[in-house]
């Protein structure tokens, strides 16, 4: 019967479409999770870099302050800031 065959074929097409939609949804979910993971890694790397820069800056200022204690005429950012503060 032609109607039965058509209904069966339509059911097969619907099942295939449902299966493909599930596959696409799973791939989209995996891609979103990968993107989120990459974003987190990027942010962690940037935070680490900024933390390192801040630590380097603190070490530099600390070194300048130590130099100022040893030689008051030592030029540098810390020296300039201390002189400006003393003038106010």
Among 10-19, 32-41, 64-73, the minimum mean pLDDT is found in 64-73
State the pLDDT confidence band at 81, using cuts at 50, 70 and 90.
Answer: confident
- Please report the DSSP string for 31-67 in residue order: HHHHHHHHHHHHHHHHHHHHHHHHHHHHHHHHHHHHH
Helix (H) or strand (E) holding 27: helix 2-70
Give the whole-angstrom CA distance, residue 14 versus residue 7: 10
**Would the pTM of this model clear 0.75, i.e. be above it?**
no
Average pLDDT, the chain: 88
- Which among 57, 80, 59, 56 is positioned nearest to 68, based on CA atoms? 80
Interval 21-30: pLDDT, tens: 999 999 999 9
- pLDDT score at 80: 74
- pLDDT score at 25: 98
Contacts of residue 69, defined as CB under 8 A and 6 or more positions apart, other chains included, come to: none
Q: Is 80 exceeded by the pLDDT of residue 1?
A: yes
| In the chain, domain spans | 2-87
């Amino acid at each position: 019967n032609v109607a039965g065959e058509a209904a069966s074929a339509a059911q097969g097409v619907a099942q295939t479409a449902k299966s493909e939609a599930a596959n696409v949804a799973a791939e989209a979910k995996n891609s979103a999770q990968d993107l989120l993971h990459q974003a987190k890694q990027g942010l962690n790397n940037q935070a680490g870099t900024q933390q390192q820069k801040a630590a380097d800056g603190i070490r530099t200022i600390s070194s300048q302050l130590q130099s100022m204690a040893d030689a008051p005429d030592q030029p540098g950012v810390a020296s300039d800031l201390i002189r400006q503060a003393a003038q106010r």
